[in-house]
Structure 1
Amino acid sequence: MLAGKRILLIVGGGIAAYKTPELVRQLRAAGAGVSVVLTRAGAEFATPLSLSVVAGEAVHEDLFDVSKEAEIGHIQLSRSADLVLVAPATADLMAKMAQGLANDLASTLLLATDTPVLIAPAMNVRMWDHPATQRNLALLKGDGVRLVGPDVGDMACGEHGPGRMTQPEGIVAACADLLADGPLRGKRVLVTSGPTHEPIDPVRYIANRSSGAQGTAIARALAGLGAEVVFVTGPADVPPPDGVQVVRVETAREMLEAVQAALPVDAGVFAAAVADWRVARAATSKMKKEAGGLPSLEFAENPDILKTVSRMESGRPGLVVGFAAETDDVIAHATAKRDRKGCDWIVANDVSPATGIMGGSENAVHLITGAGVEDWPRMGKDLVARRLADRIATALGAG
């Protein structure tokens, strides 16, 4: 995926830095050459020796290393790379980047480069959610810095939420997407993602456990292959990817309207976990708890977005991909769903509680097409997304 590419990896000072030797190994396995810059704080979690062994070259640490400055210089180090990757990107390092500080080798390289920059944030959830970090992130995005992650999950500190660094295979996939030649350039693709929230009253709603992580990864992978992506998302746990047109919705009916407004497209990927039902008449004020009584809710069926698009007589996308999250008889139920909806492909996965897939960082899917069933091994959601994006590119004659 990265044959002939040169990546400058800057290792920030977070606990996730222990994953960087494996990240370097996977980058090299994908064909990239890797130069490593290790911050002083990063060296507390990953050693120069371990990184130099897997990188196959010396690690850079000191801005004022006379011998290395004489050999290449820090300016040339940043400009000789095809991509600058910051992993982990700590809150401190992101703040330095946003403010243009240059008081060590890593921050100086980041200020001196005109090479594309990709960051993989990793920090405590409270640090990630802090307004200062979000302001810095907005500045970085405005400067053209690209983002992979952070993922949602358990943290070393014992808390749970967004802030985990994306796994090495996901970062490698993001690097490949960013540096791809763009086989989907000129194609327009619609992706739906996340859950929908169906109101009961102004403060309560019906929802599901979808995090939106898989749909977000698919949109990112398609954009990485050069597609113009319209990303229609419900209230997801993860931020939308860079480089896509984002349309935010809450309910199934809003999602259908957004989908119809986005047409025509070359392909549609319907990864959203859309609620099947809604409360027929949502209360306009908060329902009060009455002693000895339970509320009675009347339900109505939500529009079937996948079926509506799949069976359009005109303006139907050339390729319609649905998703089937099942808890039992996965392939049988998903195959029946493909026939019932009229879509071209179904991506089926087992979301029974024992798998940990719903809301997790991995997926194990079966791709069901008119030609049969493909069983994909369990892998990170970013890799599932890249594999599906490659298949879509091939189906559209662009791969």
Structure 2
Amino acid sequence: MAMHDVVIAGCGISGITAGLQAREHDLDTCIVERAATDQVGKKICGDLMMQESITRIEQKFGISIENYPLKGLEIRFSGIGATHVPIPLCTVDRWQLGQACVNEFLERGGILRRGLVRGPVMKAGSVAGVLTQDGAIDGSVIVDSSGVSGVLRRKIPSISCEKDLLGLAYREILRVKDSIDLEYAVLNLDNHLIPEGYFWCFPKGAHEVNVGVGGLVKGQTHLKKKLTAFIDSMGLEVRDQIDSGLGIVPLGRSLASQVHGGLLICGDAANHVNPLTGEGIAPALEDGYHAGLTAAEALEKGDVSCAGLWNYNVAFARGYGKVHAPLVFLRDFLVSLSGKELNFLLDTVIDGENLGEIIKGNLPSIEWENISTVLSHLMRFPLFSRVYSVLKKMRNIQRLYAQFPTEQGMFFSWKNRRDQLVGNTVKR
């Protein structure tokens, strides 16, 4: 069988973006996807995207995507209060998004093969292809975009040894009777209903919503009951259910390294979902772009070793990585708070605009106003102390990711420092 320049396992957002970017450089690119072509894009997700991601897809690949614009994110907590985060968002039809991208890929000369990827083809310790039920498909650079299953990376000992934190999410797309009076995507933290998770309600139109529940919980029946209670609390009168389903969500930290000889790891396979909002499309787009670009650069230089592909690690760590890593600390802190504590925190210490900046990776500094707030609420000093500790950890790990080594030889020293900072902060 002919050798491809790039072989991609999975036709999700990161996989199709990697394929489109590889075709930008005229690389012989083959995507292996288990679903039929007309089923690509059918996935259990929140359908939420950043507006800038829509713009990027259109500018980079000429693909226009219909979307329902939202003003930002509304975070509610235990029925006590809410704060608004002004980040332009939108909801999309995930299937239409997938179809538009795969059609563009095929028009550009990409190859889409239907098959179930079972693992990597290994040669001299490097990945040199993928194994399917019909045999091997060889490639110079292999991209694991197989989602949370990570069918390739889990067969690489140096990468598979990293711990995963996986959660469940159950979502329904509903048509409702009355017009939806929501201008924001709603994220509800309610530790009475779901102690280690959250609910969401993302409008998709005047009479359509994507609602769901996710977190460190067990069982579809349990989640469905919780979601029904949340739907009632939102005052939604359901006309009919358009779709429903259960999915697995990566909730832990990103892989320390997303690179092996001949292999790049993208999207959910690398645990790149936004820890706070659960949004995975924006990081998947970023991963796919850098994977395609890195593959092209490595092939041009004739070096697809781990060192030759190392720039992909650097691009992630110094880009989205330094945004993602602090948000894991923040997510774990927020879900540990009571409703009253969360209400006080977001009403007094961190407002919606500050939280929006944090989500973008811009961490706040401790200013005089913060000190004045502490002095005027001495009874809340233990909470302020915890906030300060979390912000310090967030700044330290962000600084570390910004210093990710450009040479592979310095990686283990960096990883040891990361592991020391992370400690046992993630609940298991």
TM-score (norm 1): 0.33
- Higher-Rg structure is 1
**Which structure shows the bigger proportion of residues in helix conformation?**
2
Higher relative contact order (CA 8 A, sep 6+): 2
